[in-house]
Structure 1
């Protein structure tokens, strides 16, 4: 497990984001589940120019690792909303790490709409499972977000460094008005 590739997530520039991994889906299907109907290959700089942060919507950046699709949202995320989680996990497994602007970290493992595990690393446990002790083993030597991402990344066989996230990825803007209820 490579903790170093996730160090970017602990930097102040990345105050909040949602990183979702969905198994056995195509990027277009994940985007459609989040209310985006077209994907364009763009770098992050191109995406930010085409969809300024001052405008409405969730900027969705997608890529794939083996049979997993990742969806990265760092402004107005919607993949962490209850109805989106239900759609994304329907008939498959979804792993998600959310870092809120205040530093709270939530890890979710959802299979077919059913919460298998949900907790705050080093904090509250809502539904316990096998990821929590793996993450706990990396604390306090690593921040909660870095530990969570390292373990979830290991689980799906993915490593996301900033060069990948800043580079060319399938990109869409969703203006879908997702209900705010959380799981």
Structure 2
């Protein structure tokens, strides 16, 4: 290989590496805020030392602020959750596995956990939400959020989550 070809190959390799680093740095992590309006269909039973809560919730979620990446400002989708929890003398232990589906069919998977507050009208509380993957443009996305939920009349609730994600 001639010296000029060697230099050209090294320059092309350096450009390729710089582009790969720039691509990895741009858009591979960020933050967003999402609000959700949901309807709950929970069943509660008295059991041992307290109550068991189970059921589903469904509604819409909209990204209201974003630093970029797959979670764009104004992006929205249908959110469906399966909820299970327990209230005992020690407090609330509530967990839900949820799937958000965008109009394009991409999905985001998350698990929310909360040990504060209630699920009754006028209740609510703060919790943590874990982003655990997705499909399409959300494939490989993980992260965490803090959220606040407020339970309203007629089995409705609203929440606001502040999230950080990475891929």
Q: TM-score, normalised by structure 2?
A: 0.29
- Bigger Rg, which one: 2
Q: TM-score, normalised by structure 1?
A: 0.27
More relative contact order in 1 or in 2 (CA 8 Å, sep 6+)? 1
Which structure has more strand as a fraction of its residues? 2
